[in-house]
Structure 1
Amino acid sequence: MRARRLALLFGAVVVVCGVSAAPLGGVGAARADSIRDMEYWLGDYGFSSAWGTTKGAGATVAVIDTGIDGSVAELQGAVVDGTDVSGIGSADGQTPVGESSDHGTMVASLIAGRGTGGGNGVIGVAPEASLLSISVALGTGSVGSDEQIAHAVRWAVDHGADVINMSLTRNSLDWPQSWDDAFSYAFDHDVVVVAAAGNRGSGTTEVGAPATIPGVVAVAGVDRAGEASFDASSQGITIAVAAPSEQLVGVVPGGGYVLWDGTSGAAPLVSGLAALVTSAYPDLDAANVINRIIATAVPKGDPVPGPIYGYGLIDADQAVTAEVAPVTANPIGDLAAWIATYRPASGGGSLDSLVIPPPEATEPPAAAPAGRGDRPEVYNLMHWAVPLGLLLGFLILMATLALGAVSHFRGLLHK
């Protein structure tokens, strides 16, 4: 079935980024590893090999989405805490809400699904990581959508998230000022924020916030062959890396499976990878976790980084095993510096603000003479034009009087 538009935000649009989903009927009766066989990204992108180093134990990923049904077999024990910021969900965030309530559980299963034993069921890329479920109902909750996101990010940070997954987009380059504070709070507390680029097939023609926010890991989508997905990935200069976004299998609330497309699925693969890196290197700050992900990506496209693949296709095994030189700052941007530079001048959060203004004129207009004010044209008028005009008027008057006198005397002589 074609995907539905999942949530609307007044003015701007906020959507969760799945493009299409189709139920996998009869899978429960299939052979034990039929679902696992569909998870091609585990082998193709190095996750199976990375598990020789870590499976994500000790790392916590917050899923800001429609809520996670933690009772499904694959997610039992994975959700350790949660909340609802929409005003219509349950206190633990585990009651799916919104128009596409399946979405959050599908995303969560790709990150930290435990399988169902014996090689059955969906296993996530970080199957020993813990999850926080933060339910949002964008456009339909009793709280404004922008406020829901700002609150959700802060709650995630305060409740121990190492990574925040946001498989949603505002469908606009800009973002509200409340997000400045929330995302700065996350970065100040060394939390990695991962966001989906969005999908052209759902009407997102360019990457939108939060994937445009400096410092956020924006994830593009590729097909099974590793090529840019036309329907399931938007493009933009903020793309950090690319991951699979087609033929993904996920778990839905109540159990059961769907095959789905979209950068909503690519983002949790990268969030799970961030959890693996955090688990393998618990002393790394967020900047260096991100650096490991982009530095070990397989370069693709020209230039690198570029607007289609960013730094390239993720490589989980290399991300947790390779020698990577440390960095001292987030390699994909500094939100604090952006705010300090552009927010006071622009009054908005648009990437259009990054356009460098034209330089000042190299030869400024001549200043007015000292004590004459700041309008030299008025000074010139008062001190040259006016006196000259008065002089000319006086001369014309004198000439007129002279001609009159001559005419008068000539009249007298002829009498």
Structure 2
Amino acid sequence: MTARRMLRSGVVLATIMASVLLLGASATPPPVPDDPADPVRASEYWLDGARIRDAWQTTRGDGVTIAVIDTGIGKVPGVFDGAVTDGTDVSGTGSPDGRTPVGAIDGNHGSWVASLAAGRGAADGKGMIGVAPEADLLSISVGFGAAAAVPFTEQVAKAMRWAVDNGADIINLSFTTNTLDWDKSWDDAFLYAFEHDVVVVVAAGNRGSGTDIIGAPATIPGVLTVGGVDQTGTASLEASTQGITIGIAAPSEGLLGVSADGTVVSWRGTSGAAPIVAGIAALIRSAHPDLDAANVINRIIRTAIPVEGMSKTPDPLYGYGLIDAEAALNADLPSVAENPMGDLAEWIRLYRRAETAPQPVPTATPVAVPPLPDADAPTEAGSPLLPSAESLRYGTLPLIALTVPGILIALGVTAAARRIRSARIRTPHS
């Protein structure tokens, strides 16, 4: 068990003990205040559709911290009172606490995301409430496009490390780059989160905003990528995209969000589906503080509700199916040793191998060479016209041995020829 999980286990145990002292033998949380007549609360169809209200019978996310890396969480009274425990800005244009909305267009985006994940809700049961209303939030403000003085890839890498170093158990990323690949600096940043047992939840992107194919960071191995469905559980045509890295599907249409000025608005997109899943991950970590990130993700995807028409898992539209909060909390599942969504370290080993550090140059070891034998003593120089011992041995004598017999044979043949010719002359003709 990591130090982070040991600390979380201690916090949850202390909370349970306190509940037992206050409530007697029952450790079941008191009912969440709900006003059925309140139009805002009644509009949060995902609370029942994803069985989040059922999961609240076990926990509301106490003792767990969700980092929202987005455009900043506004200072909305009631909704975020006591929820945001810390924050920072990495855009170069926000405030040091990360609570000032960044960007004229997307400034409210971070508040919408945070309200879905862990909005507190009013004590009278009215107004919007988040999936994990007792979880803590970290607000890390980033800027998109012209809203930042720092390159976006650098912002994300810095934000990831800050979130981990400041106690995040879950990181929510509700943005996409619309490209499959990612900057090399993200390798170390995301690996840093995984090595510190953090669940990273990422939005798949939306067709309506030009994302036809899933892009980074949703393509990074190890993250839990969230696709979107409508109110009927059907894959959204505009408020989601598709891709083989999608792990789970959650509501992405007809969503609510609290803006930085406290206004409740309607919106859609996997930017909202992701924090719903991040909130459920917080419920799991609160109820099972001994589980590592891999097993939290495994619970979410293995208890998903299959969708009719899914031919295989993960499906490019639904991943492993529709999110089911109550089953993810209470199902009896065997533990896993690896993150079911992939291994970033292995990916780096395979695909960044061309950029590995240069290998050390081997050093040469001196070899002892035995001394050569002494050269022959020089001979006295002689005339090139006179025969030497070497020329007599290898030249003259062999030549004489071959020439003399040849001469003798030639003379014998000549004498024999003469005798035959003389004999023919003396013989009479017939």
Q: Shorter-chain TM-score: which interval? A: 0.7 to 0.9
* Paired position in structure 2 for 1:215: 222
Aligned with residue 171 of structure 2, among 152, 157, 164: 164
* Paired position in structure 1 for 2:413: none
Task: Return the letter of the residue paired with 1:160.
Answer: G
SS in 2 for 1:221: strand
Q: Distance in 1 between matches of 2:213 and 2:73?
A: 28
Q: Distance in 1 between matches of 2:197 and 2:283?
A: 16
Q: Distance in 1 between matches of 2:149 and 2:340?
A: 37
Q: Distance in 1 between matches of 2:301 and 2:77?
A: 33
Matched, 1:35 2:44: no
Matched, 1:178 2:185: yes
* Paired position in structure 1 for 2:333: 324
* Paired position in structure 2 for 1:53: 58
Q: Distance in 2 between matches of 1:46 and 1:104?
A: 25
The answer (yes or no) to whether the contact 1:70–1:77 under 8 Å persists in 2 is no
The answer (yes or no) to whether the contact 1:73–1:255 under 8 Å persists in 2 is no
SS in 1 for 2:159: helix
SS in 2 for 1:187: helix
* Paired position in structure 1 for 2:293: 286
Task: Return the letter of the residue paired with 1:123.
Answer: I
The answer (yes or no) to whether the contact 2:36–2:42 under 8 Å persists in 1 is no
**Greater length-normalized contact order (CA 8 Å, ≥ 6 residues apart):** 1
Q: Distance in 2 between matches of 1:304 and 1:212?
A: 17
* Paired position in structure 2 for 1:109: 115
Q: Distance in 1 between matches of 2:54 and 2:61?
A: 13
The answer (yes or no) to whether the contact 2:181–2:215 under 8 Å persists in 1 is yes
The answer (yes or no) to whether the contact 2:101–2:110 under 8 Å persists in 1 is yes
SS in 1 for 2:79: helix
Cα offset, 1:76, TM superposition: 1.0
Where does 1:8-407 land on structure 2 (aligned, <5 Å)?
33-98=38-103, 99-140=105-146, 141-300=148-307, 301-345=310-354
* Paired position in structure 2 for 1:401: none
* Paired position in structure 2 for 1:357: none
Q: Distance in 2 between matches of 1:220 and 1:34?
A: 27
Cα offset, 1:346, TM superposition: 8.2
**Structure 2 unaligned residues grouped into runs of 5+:** 1-34, 357-430
**Structure 1 unaligned residues grouped into runs of 5+:** 1-29, 348-415
Q: Distance in 1 between matches of 2:256 and 2:188?
A: 35
The ranges of structure 1 where at least 4 consecutive aligned residues each deviate by more than 4 angstroms after the TM superposition are: none
The answer (yes or no) to whether the contact 1:297–1:313 under 8 Å persists in 2 is yes
Cα offset, 1:345, TM superposition: 3.7
SS in 2 for 1:119: coil
Percent of aligned positions that are identical: 62
Q: Distance in 1 between matches of 2:208 and 2:301?
A: 26
Q: Distance in 2 between matches of 1:302 and 1:279?
A: 34
The answer (yes or no) to whether the contact 2:182–2:216 under 8 Å persists in 1 is yes
Q: Distance in 2 between matches of 1:41 and 1:257?
A: 16
Cα offset, 1:72, TM superposition: 3.2
SS in 2 for 1:284: coil
Task: Return the letter of the residue paired with 2:346.
Answer: A
SS in 1 for 2:68: strand
The answer (yes or no) to whether the contact 1:65–1:135 under 8 Å persists in 2 is yes
Aligned length: 318
1:289-312: CA deviation from partner (whole Å, max 9, x where unpaired): 101111111122221221110000
The answer (yes or no) to whether the contact 2:226–2:247 under 8 Å persists in 1 is yes
The answer (yes or no) to whether the contact 1:138–1:144 under 8 Å persists in 2 is no
Cα offset, 1:70, TM superposition: 3.1
Q: Distance in 2 between matches of 1:31 and 1:42?
A: 13
Cα 1:346–1:310 change in 2 (3 A) is farther
1:62-112: CA deviation from partner (whole Å, max 9, x where unpaired): 000000013332111100000000011011100000131000000000011
Cα offset, 1:324, TM superposition: 1.0
Q: Distance in 1 between matches of 2:182 and 2:98?
A: 25
Cα offset, 1:31, TM superposition: 9.1
RMSD, aligned α-carbons: 1.3
Q: Distance in 2 between matches of 1:131 and 1:221?
A: 23
Task: Return the letter of the residue paired with 2:181.
Answer: D
Q: Distance in 2 between matches of 1:42 and 1:341?
A: 42
Q: Distance in 2 between matches of 1:143 and 1:32?
A: 46
1:151-183: CA deviation from partner (whole Å, max 9, x where unpaired): 000000000000000000011000000000000
Task: Return the letter of the residue paired with 1:304.
Answer: T
SS in 2 for 1:258: strand
SS in 1 for 2:352: helix
Task: Return the letter of the residue paired with 2:60.
Answer: K
* Paired position in structure 2 for 1:391: none
SS in 1 for 2:101: coil
Cα offset, 1:129, TM superposition: 0.3
The answer (yes or no) to whether the contact 2:226–2:250 under 8 Å persists in 1 is yes
Task: Return the letter of the residue paired with 2:334.
Answer: A
Q: Distance in 1 between matches of 2:236 and 2:56?
A: 27
The answer (yes or no) to whether the contact 1:220–1:234 under 8 Å persists in 2 is yes
The answer (yes or no) to whether the contact 1:72–1:254 under 8 Å persists in 2 is no
Task: Return the letter of the residue paired with 1:43.
Answer: D
SS in 2 for 1:107: helix
The answer (yes or no) to whether the contact 1:72–1:253 under 8 Å persists in 2 is no
The answer (yes or no) to whether the contact 1:32–1:119 under 8 Å persists in 2 is no
